């Protein structure tokens, strides 16, 4: 596949994403309004950045869009984050250990600004857009492993099980919608190139920005696997490649 053809295909894929983002925005506003009208609380606001210490995953299409929006200062921060994470995940033996790294060691999302605002809010991934917290923001950054059994029990009992993605405190409807949109993007990517790429958002953004991952994908799965091995990011905890 030549460069011009690859660029045309990526223009279509990112264009489809751009068309889906306003839908997700309208949906989250509607879900928030509806839940509040029924007496519930949604506590998300500018600067409440507890969820930015969670693992943020996205599709490659989203990462390509985010990478295009970064300035050089943001790109440098992403580079440093990925270099640090690459070393940290060497000691992560399983998913729980990987999740713990993000809570305690990775330093949080590199695109988070000093005032707690998202530096790429307009193009943030669906996984971020989906998080509508029904509890105070302190619960988004809480380390549940450090809570006492009584504290954990009190938290679980406080959840609105008809609305949340139990045992989490985020609205289920928005998470389900975002998952569906992510799946659609992954399917379109696989239909276009024969496989999809999904995983850690800053890692994918780094690869798109510094290693032209979008172009590499158009040359085939083997080329992507070779790139990941060369830069030391061929870790299934970070990224997953899946066929049609």
Does the structure show a pLDDT above 70 at 244?
no
Task: Decide which of 45 and 184 is more confident.
Answer: 184
Does the structure show a pLDDT above 80 at 170?
yes
Residue 110 burial (C-beta neighbours within 10 Å; 0-12, 13-18, 19+): buried
- Given a contact cutoff of 8 angstroms between Cβ atoms, the answer to whether 199 and 240 are in contact is yes
Does the structure show a pLDDT above 90 at 82?
yes
Does the structure show a pLDDT above 70 at 146?
yes
pLDDT > 90 in the chain, percent: 77
Predicted pLDDT at 200: 97
User: Which stretch of 110-124, 141-155, 172-186, 199-213 has the lowest confidence by average pLDDT?
Assistant: 141-155
**pLDDT tier, 141 (very low <50, low <70, confident <90, very high otherwise):** confident
Does the structure show a pLDDT above 90 at 144?
no
Average pLDDT value for residue range 174-186: 97
Range of the domain at 169: 3-243
Average pLDDT value for residue range 45-58: 88
Number of domains making up the chain: 1
Q: Which of 114, 14, 119, 11 is nearest to 56 (CA)?
A: 119
Question: What H or E segment, with its residue span, contains residue 196?
Answer: strand 195-200
Q: How far is Cα 165 from Cα 177, in angstroms, rounded to an integer? A: 12
Predicted pLDDT at 116: 84
Predicted pLDDT at 119: 95
Does the structure show a pLDDT above 70 at 167?
yes
């Amino acid at each position: 596949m030549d460069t011009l053809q690859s660029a045309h295909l990526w223009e279509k894929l990112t264009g489809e994403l751009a068309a889906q983002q306003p839908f997700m925005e309208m949906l989250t506003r509607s879900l928030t309004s509806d839940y509040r009208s029924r007496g519930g609380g949604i506590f998300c606001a500018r600067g409440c950045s507890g969820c930015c210490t969670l693992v943020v995953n996205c599709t490659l299409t989203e990462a390509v869009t985010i990478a295009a929006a970064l300035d050089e200062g943001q790109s440098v921060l992403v580079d440093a984050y990925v270099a640090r994470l690459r070393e940290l995940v060497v000691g992560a033996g399983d998913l729980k250990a990987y999740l713990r790294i993000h809570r305690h060691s990775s330093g949080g999302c590199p695109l988070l600004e000093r005032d707690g605002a998202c530096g790429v809010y307009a193009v943030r991934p669906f996984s971020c857009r989906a998080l509508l917290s029904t509890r105070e923001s302190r619960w988004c950054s809480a380390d549940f492993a450090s809570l006492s059994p009584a504290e954990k029990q009190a938290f679980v009992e406080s959840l609105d099980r008809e609305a949340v993605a139990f045992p989490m405190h985020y609205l289920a409807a928005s998470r389900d919608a975002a998952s569906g949109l992510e799946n659609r993007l992954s399917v379109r990517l696989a239909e276009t190139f024969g496989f999809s790429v999904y995983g850690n958002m800053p890692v994918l953004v780094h690869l798109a920005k510094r290693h032209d991952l979008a172009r590499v994908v158009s040359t085939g799965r083997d080329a992507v696997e070779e790139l990941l091995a060369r830069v030391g990011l061929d870790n299934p905890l970070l990224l997953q490649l899946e066929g049609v």
